[in-house]
Amino acid sequence: MPQSLTSIKELLTARGLAPRKSLGQNFLVDHNLIRKLVDDAATKPGDLILEIGPGTGVLTDELLERGCRVIACELDDGLYALLKERLAPRLASGQLTLIRGDCLNGKRALHPDLHELLSKPPSAASGSAPPLFRLIANLPYGAATPLMTNLLIDYPNCLSLHVTVQREVADRLAATPGADEYGPLSVIAASCAVAHKVAKLPPECFWPRPDVTSAMISLIRRPAPLTPRLHAFADFVQAVFERRRKQLGGILREKFGIQEPFGYPEGITYQTRAENLSAPQLLALMSAVETGNGRTSAVS
């Protein structure tokens, strides 16, 4: 039976636990929305799912009931112990793998245990590849951007991402050139995936109620990224967006030592601003900067 708000409170109270604001613990209690997110991911029995911040296991239960194999990572020691007890049969069967700790190891890497599970072939068979998986999670707000960026750039075997995040983060993921929300995260997402919004979530969908509105969004990975040099591209985009409304010519001079005259790609001039450039245009600009600097790796 799905966990009700009453049962969630009882589970926590029995263990002397309470939602921790410092960890962004706002539990999604609307089961219709939980099912909507999983439905959007179109999971099948046997699919491997990464879940971050499972809390008391409301979403985890839905995934397991659908026959998915789940790798869940929980930072809170009390909730980890709760999940380990509640879902002991699933752990024993191997359907669930539970990891304790921060899903991130710094800003540019995953927890070592997560990396091991998601990047290594499931067997030692010759020619085997890392497992295909999807991220389905009600993400802790503080981890959302670095986690999704890492998965998009470093884990091409992550087929799609289906998440609940702050509405502002969802807006940035789906933003197009010229929009106020458009920035580095928008560019990296567009370089690797196609985004679509699934639902808008008011605060009353959570317990306790957060101070912000949330949204569900899905990113479906493209067959191939815009460039294989995603790390270099991400660094370049971050640099040119640091002063997003300044003219590009000035930014290129300050950041990369580019002097005029400079061979800007078609449609780009000294006066152009980064916020108005698409991902392909920014990639063309990076290539021009590298050539203009007389070397092949101006951005590393």
- Asked if 184 contacts 172 with a C-beta cutoff of 8 angstroms, the reply is no
- Asked if 184 contacts 241 with a C-beta cutoff of 8 angstroms, the reply is yes
pLDDT in tens, 107-158: 889 999 999 999 988 776 556 889 999 999 999 888 999 999 999 999 999 9
Q: How many residues does the chain have?
A: 300
Using alpha carbons, select from 43, 272, 296, 259 the residue that is nearest to residue 159.
43
What percentage of residues in the chain have a pLDDT greater than 90? 85
Q: Read off φ and ψ for residue 298, nearest 5 degrees.
A: -65, -30
pLDDT in tens, 58-93: 999 999 999 999 999 999 999 999 999 999 999 999
Confidence of residue 267 (pLDDT cuts 50, 70, 90): very high
Confidence of residue 298 (pLDDT cuts 50, 70, 90): very low
State the pLDDT at residue 197.
97
Rounded distance, CA 58 to CA 64, Å?
A: 10
Give alpha helix (H) positions in 4-87.
Answer: 5-14, 31-41, 58-65, 77-86
What is the architecture, at CATH level 2, of domain 5-221?
A: 3-Layer(aba) Sandwich (3.40)
Domain definitions of the chain by residue range: 5-221, 230-292
Rounded distance, CA 108 to CA 228, Å?
A: 17
Q: Read off φ and ψ for residue 73, nearest 5 degrees.
A: -120, 120
pLDDT in tens, 2-38: 899 999 999 999 999 999 888 878 999 999 999 999 9
**Mean per-residue pLDDT for 45-69?**
97
Mean pLDDT over the full length of the chain: 93
State the pLDDT at residue 300.
45
State the pLDDT at residue 129.
87
Q: Which CATH superfamily is domain 230-292 in?
A: rRNA adenine dimethylase, C-terminal domain (1.10.8.100)
Q: What residue type is 170 in one-letter code?
A: A
pTM over 0.85: yes
What tokens appear for 269 in the block?
A: 């001039």
**Mean per-residue pLDDT for 183-196?**
97
Q: Is the pLDDT of residue 168 over 60?
A: yes
**Mean per-residue pLDDT for 169-174?**
97
